[in-house]
Structure 1
């Protein structure tokens, strides 16, 4: 009997959370596209939005595709560590994770010094932010800046992500 009441509570809670998520989604749409009542707005319809891949998933797919190239071709053909790092940082941001320099360097498939130079360059271009890890001052955390986040998201949108 207790199991049934818990199951009922979970069902009710799930329905309530779904309604809340739907409302927040509608509000986000209104904020993103402006709620002018003008039907000529360039707003995707619900079916188009549902069919478009999530930006985070698209970024993860791009990273996986880039990794797959190494199974078939020499690594020397593919030197774009900055792009690999930007995609990894975007995914980390979307998953609410942080990456330190060591973890980020691992995504670039280049020597540490080369990756660090690219991190410096991305920072100069204001695409990434660097902060000292508050728990271990020897480590540096790297994240996409607002500019970097906007640029990567716009690119993924152009590829068809929501």
Structure 2
């Protein structure tokens, strides 16, 4: 993929997350409309497309769920080959697999056409 196309996917993913988080400003119980799995997966996608190995603790900063739920989803992503471990500055983190990156990109393309 070209760098311009990658930037477009990252921007779309960031916009999607921002739109989802805006719901919290209008509804008292922000957990009702949350989708922690998708939010987490997009966070990993953004980090991977930005050529980063992301630490699990970094993903939890803006996540609208508990660390326990996020950890369970990370395990599920790993079991389904959506993510793999990577190393950055001597620490073990995670990044998205190439096939999962392609699936996210295809989804973001489809959403853009709506």
TM-score, normalised by the number of residues in structure 2: 0.81
Q: Is the 8 A contact 1:63 1:84 kept in 2?
A: yes
Question: Relative contact order (C-alpha < 8 Å, sep 6+): which is higher?
Answer: 2
Q: How many residues align?
A: 107
Task: Name 2:24's counterpart in structure 1.
Answer: 70
Aligned to 1:118, what secondary structure does the other structure show? helix
Paired residues for 1:69-148 under 5 Å = 69-73=23-27, 74-131=29-86, 133=88, 135-136=90-91, 140-148=92-100
**5+ unaligned residues in a row in structure 2: which ranges?**
none
TM-score, normalised by the number of residues in structure 1: 0.59
Question: In 2, distance between residues paired with 1:64 and 1:100?
Answer: 21
Shift of 1:132: 5.3
Aligned to 1:91, what secondary structure does the other structure show? helix
Shift of 1:54: 1.6
Q: C-alpha root-mean-square deviation of aligned residues, in Å?
A: 2.1
Change (3 A) 1:79 1:160: closer
Moved over 3 A (4+): 131-134
Q: Which has the larger radius of gyration?
A: 1
Aligned to 1:126, what secondary structure does the other structure show? coil
Shift of 1:133: 4.9
Q: Is the 8 A contact 1:127 1:148 kept in 2?
A: yes
Q: Is the 8 A contact 1:88 1:107 kept in 2?
A: no
